[in-house]
Amino acid sequence: MSDNGTGDKLKGAGNKAKGAVKDAVGNATNNRKMQADGKKDKVKGEAQNVKGDVKNKANE
């Protein structure tokens, strides 16, 4: 069974959401480390989303 990229897209969405929460909480509490971790998670999520898109295109 080939991977159609859906798993990567779901992981990406989860990481982007987690990152957004961390970034917002870090901003509200002036916690620079939490903000940085949130931004890192958002970038990781976006990369996973792109990976899922590539897999979807490859399977078309």
d(Cα 36, Cα 43) in Å, to the nearest integer? 11
Residue-range domain boundaries for the chain: 6-59
| pTM for the predicted model, two decimal places | 0.84
Residue 14: phi, psi to the nearest 5?
A: -65, -45
Residue 5: phi, psi to the nearest 5?
A: 95, -5
Q: How many residues does the chain have?
A: 60
Question: Can you read off the two tokens belonging to residue 29?
Answer: 């509490």
pLDDT of residue 1 exceeding 60:
no
Closest CA to 41 of 17, 24, 25: 17
pLDDT of residue 48 exceeding 70:
yes
pLDDT number for residue 12: 96
